[in-house]
Amino acid sequence: MNTIRRDNLRALSARYPTQAEFAAACGTAPSVISQIVSPNPKRNLGDKLARRIEAAAGLPHGWMDQVQGQIAKRSVQPNASIESEGIQEWADDTPLDDDEIELPFLKEVELSAGGGKTVIEVSGTRKLRFGKYTVRNLGVQPDQAVCVSISGNSMEPVLQNGGTVAVDRAKNKVSDVVDGKMYAISHAGHVRVKQLYRTARGGLRLRSFNRDEHPDEEYTADELMAEEITIIGRVFWGASFF
C-alpha cells in the first residue's frame, strides 16, 4: 500500500511547477511531500493525508490506494493542475476550476516623493492557487486570505528567505493573538512575519525563530502606534525552498 500511494503521489506532484505549489494545493508542507516522495523515503503516506490529498485534488475516495498505471506512465508536463478527471495542463491565464481560488500576494510599494516610505498593497498580478476545501477546512474565509513572501533569515530554520506564507486577515487584532503563533505584521509599511505574544495592557512581544541573530522585540500599546505596527493576520500555511 505504501508503495502504491507513494507512486501515485509522485505522479501527481510531478504535474505541478513546484513541489511547494503541489503541497499548497494539498494543504500540507513541502517538507512532508518531500519526505514521502524522495528516493529514500523518511515517512509513509498515512490514511489521513491520503484522504486530504484526494479531497483537495477532486479525486474519488480511495484513489491513492489503487494502482494508477495510465496516469503514472504519462509524460510529465511542466505546467499542470490536478482535476477530477485526470491531469490537464495549465498556464497563468487558465480559468479557475469551481473548487479553486487564487490568493493575492501583498507587496511593499515605495511612495513617490515619500522619502523612502513604503506602503503595503495587494499585488494585481502575483497570486497562488489553493483548493477552496483546503482553505475553508482551516477555518479561513477565502476572501480574507492573502499571501506574503518571507524576506531575510529571522524565521529560519522554519521559514527560509524567499518562502511564502498564507495569512488570514480576519485575525488582525491584538485580542486575536494566540501566544506563540505566527502572524504577518505591517511595521511602518514593511511586511514582517513573527511569532507574537501578548503582553500587559495591549502590548506585543515579537519573536523570531532565529533568536541568536534576531532577539525579541517588545512594544507597549503606545509604542505599537508610534512605530506604526499593526497585525495583518495570522499565518495558516507556509512553504519554503531549501
Q: Which of 140, 211, 220, 136 is nearest to 172 (CA)?
A: 140
What was the pLDDT predicted at 78? 33
pLDDT tens sequence across 230-242: 999 999 888 765 5
* Strand ranges in 53-160 using DSSP code E only, listed in sequence order: 80-83, 86-89, 100-110, 118-131, 145-149
At residue 169, the 3 state secondary structure works out as coil
Do 146 and 166 contact (CB within 8 A), yes or no?
yes
- Give the number of residues written for the chain: 242
Q: According to the model, what pLDDT value does residue 73 have?
A: 34
Q: Name the residue with higher pLDDT: 90 or 211.
A: 211
What is the maximum span of the chain, computed from C-alpha positions, in angstroms?
A: 63
Q: What distance in Å separates the CA atoms of residue 240 and residue 29, rounded to the nearest whole number?
A: 9
Q: What is the residue extent of each domain of the chain? A: 2-89, 101-239
- Residue 35: which H helix or E strand, with range? helix 30-37
pLDDT band at 31 (very low <50, low <70, confident <90, very high): confident
Convert the pLDDT of each residue in 45-100 to its tens digit. 888 888 888 777 667 778 888 876 544 333 233 333 333 333 344 456 667 777 78
In tens, the pLDDT along 123-181 reads: 888 888 888 877 888 889 999 999 999 999 999 888 888 888 999 999 999 999 999 99
Mind listing the pLDDT tens digit for each residue in 174-210?
999 999 999 999 999 999 999 999 999 999 999 999 9
Report phi then psi at 138, rounded to 5. Answer: -90, 5
Taking alpha carbons only, the member of 210, 178, 213 closest to residue 196 is 178
The pLDDT score that the predictor gives to residue 30 is 81
Q: How many C-beta atoms lie closer than 10 Å to residue 79's C-beta?
A: 13
In this prediction, residue 133 carries a pLDDT of 78
The mean pLDDT value for 32-45 works out to 85
pLDDT score recorded for residue 77: 33
HSE of 171, CA atoms in CB hemisphere, 13 A? 20
Nearest-angstrom CA–CA distance, 129 and 102: 4
- Nearest-CA neighbor of 127 among 99, 144, 151, 147? 147
Of the candidates 238, 28, 192, which has an alpha carbon nearest to the alpha carbon of residue 12? Answer: 28
Structure-model confidence comparison of residues 190 and 114, the more confident one: 190
pLDDT at 115: 66
Q: Is the peptide bond before 157 cis (omega within 30 degrees of 0)?
A: yes
Comparing 7 with 186, the larger pLDDT belongs to 186
CB neighbour burial string for 134-159, b if at least 16 within 10 angstroms, e if fewer: bbeeeebeeeebbbbbbebebbbebb
**3-class state of residue 117 by DSSP:** coil
CATH entry, 101-239, from 3.40.50.1100, 2.10.109.10, 3.30.505.10, 2.102.10.10:
2.10.109.10
Query: Could you tell me which residues come within 8 angstroms of residue 207 by beta carbon, excluding any fewer than 6 positions away?
Result: 194, 195, 196, 197, 216
What pLDDT shows up at residue 58? 64
